[in-house]
Structure 1
C-alpha cells in the first residue's frame, strides 16, 4: 500500500514538473513576443486633430498625447500642451547642463480639451 501511494505521488509530482515546464516555456515565449511589440494607445482626438489623455497610458515618451491631462494650481482638471510641458530643449550638452542648473518652477497654461481655451494654470517643476 505504501509503495503504491509513493508511486502515485511520484507520478503526480512528475506530471506537475512536466506541466510547469511546458507552461513556463509557453509563457516565456509570449512574454518575449510581447516585448518585441510596443503597445499602441489610441488616444481620442479633438476637433483640431490633437490627441489628448493621460501620459501615464503612454508606452513611451514619443507615444504621449499632444494634450496631457493635468491638474491646475487650483485643482481644475485640464490639459497641458506637450511642447509647453517640455519647455526649451537644449541644442548642446553644455546648454543642457546650464538649463538644468538654472531650472526653476515655471507656469504654463492649462487648456480645455479643445487645446485653445485656457481654463487655468499649471506649474512645471514643483
Structure 2
C-alpha cells in the first residue's frame, strides 16, 4: 500500500509540474499571440474559446493541436496530440504528446531513478507536426 501511494505521489508531482508549465504557456500564447516573432505565420494557436466550442483543430496529418487546457476539459477533449510549448530561445511551437511522456515507472525504485534522469530534448514542431522549429527540454530550464 505504501509503495502504491509513493508511486501515485510521484506521478501526481509530474502531472502538477507539467500542468503549471502548460498553464503559463497557454496564458502567454493567449496574451502574446501577435508577438511570436518570425514564426507567427507558421504557427496556428487556437484560442481556449474555440477549443471549448469546436474541439481541438486537426492538422493535415490528423493530429490535434493546441494548448493542454488541464482541468478545463478533462474527460471531454483530452490532451491534444501536439501540445503548445515554449522551447529554447523563447521559440513557441508544439511538442508531440508521445515524445513528452517518456518512460513510465512500474515500481517505486524505478520512479526514484526517473527523478534523476538527465535532461532530454524533444523536437518542437510547427502545427503541421512535421516541420521542426526548435527544441523543448524536459528536466532543464528552457532559455
Which of 82, 87, 101 is the aligned partner of 1:72? 87
Give the structure 1 partner of residue 65 of structure 2.
Answer: 52
Q: TM-score, normalised by structure 2?
A: 0.52
Give the structure 2 partner of residue 112 of structure 1.
Answer: 126
* C-alpha distance in structure 2 between counterparts of 1:45 and 1:120, whole Å: 21
Give the structure 2 partner of residue 94 of structure 1.
Answer: 109
Structure with greater Cα Rg: 1
Given that 1:70 and 1:77 are in contact with CA atoms closer than 8 Å, whether structure 2 keeps it comes out as yes
Give the CA deviation at 1:40: 8.5
DSSP 3-state at the match of 1:50: coil
Give the CA deviation at 1:41: 6.9
User: How many matched pairs?
Assistant: 87
DSSP 3-state at the match of 2:89: coil
Give the structure 2 partner of residue 121 of structure 1.
Answer: 135
* C-alpha distance in structure 2 between counterparts of 1:108 and 1:76, whole Å: 13
* C-alpha distance in structure 1 between counterparts of 2:81 and 2:104, whole Å: 17
Q: Unaligned stretches of 5+ in structure 1? A: 1-38
Q: Deviations over 1:7-35 (max 9, x none)?
A: xxxxxxxxxxxxxxxxxxxxxxxxxxxxx
Which of 85, 94, 97 is the aligned partner of 1:82? 97
DSSP 3-state at the match of 1:80: strand
What is the root-mean-square deviation in Å for CA atoms of aligned residues? 2.5
Given that 1:72 and 1:120 are in contact with CA atoms closer than 8 Å, whether structure 2 keeps it comes out as yes
* C-alpha distance in structure 1 between counterparts of 2:91 and 2:103, whole Å: 25
In structure 2, relative to structure 1, the CA distance for the partners of 1:41 and 1:82 (3 Å cut) is farther
Q: Unaligned stretches of 5+ in structure 2? A: 1-51
* C-alpha distance in structure 2 between counterparts of 1:40 and 1:92, whole Å: 40
Give the CA deviation at 1:82: 0.8
